[in-house]
A and B are shown apart, each in its own frame.
Chain A
């Protein structure tokens, strides 16, 4: 196991960096897209609700690998050439955004409807009351489940291995086939994944206890 770290340190470090980069990009965009669709889903406008519902159900119920493969194979064939890393990140973003939208929606709906009524009665517009009254409370409710989504996102970023995204899992396959020590390679890579996810997991548990 130590020899894997010594001989392939560079590859593992690149993989770790790529995984981290992809996760952070996907996290930011998924949070933005997810929140947008969550707000759309709770809007009084019926058309907006249906669009959001369809989006969420589609991306929530298609496997991540299928979405990513679509962006890796089909999009470059017909529309525009994108790298494996980009297609993986796009797929991951869309997939996670559906889950984040569901999480944030549950947060918005758990805010007492009296809050919205009170805000409207005090003369705030719909968007103002959403921005200043509802969303701050909603996001406080959903911090623990959002944290779980982030951990899942980091884990799901291993899908990049299938589209040549050069992430940790991809490097693991390369190293395993190069060194023929698959057992210790996967153990090493598992350790590196734990370095990313375990602190996040424990921090979320701590936060959950503090908020509850």
Chain B
């Protein structure tokens, strides 16, 4: 038990707090960006533009089925080969964003489908 308490010495606490700050920063950035991009892509998929929607849907399926760590490693180690070098935090934000937006998108899709159902089927029994 003493070792556990020892872990909370001032020096360690400072490191932990710094880590917590990065966690919060990454989370907030990712949530905001993923929400924006997720809604945009969700609308694109929902309105069924002829080829674009199918392509977007395909890309979404691909990214949704890849592990997050792979996407992060890809953005951090893979993308520099294409001449684009993000620092670690931004790499994870980009990766998180692209992953998260799929989930939001799914959610949005379901919601909009439900909305459509409610809108069109709702008046029937009520009228």
Give me the interface of A with B, judged by CB distance under 8 Å.
Answer: 151, 155-159, 161, 169, 172-173, 176, 182-183, 186-187, 189-190, 193-194, 197-198, 201
Known contacts A176-B77, A183-B81, A190-B74; A201/B69 CB under 8 A: no
A186 touches B74 (CB 8 A): yes
How many interface residues does B have (CB within 8 Å)?
A: 16
Q: Quote the shortest CB–CB distance from B91 to chain A (angstroms).
A: 13
Q: Quote the shortest CB–CB distance from B28 to chain A (angstroms).
A: 17
Which one, B8-16, B35-43, B46-54, B60-68, is touching chain A? B60-68
Q: Which B residues between 46 and 95 are near A, CB-CB below 8 angstroms?
A: 61-62, 64-70, 73-74, 77-79, 81-82
B65 touches A151 (CB 8 A): yes
Majority secondary structure of chain A interface residues (helix, strand, loop or mixed): helix
A159 proximity list for chain B (CB < 8 A): 69
Q: Quote the shortest CB–CB distance from B76 to chain A (angstroms).
A: 9
Q: List 28 A-B contacts (CB under 8 A).
A: A155-B66, A158-B69, A169-B70, A172-B70, A172-B73, A173-B73, A176-B77, A182-B73, A182-B77, A183-B77, A183-B78, A183-B81, A183-B82, A186-B74, A186-B78, A187-B78, A190-B66, A190-B70, A190-B74, A193-B65, A193-B67, A194-B66, A197-B65, A197-B66, A198-B62, A198-B65, A201-B64, A201-B65
Q: Which residue, of A182, A193, A194, has the highest number of chain B Cβ atoms within 10 A?
A: A182
A183 proximity list for chain B (CB < 8 A): 74, 77-79, 81-82
Q: Which residue, of A155, A161, A172, A173, has the highest number of chain B Cβ atoms within 10 A?
A: A155
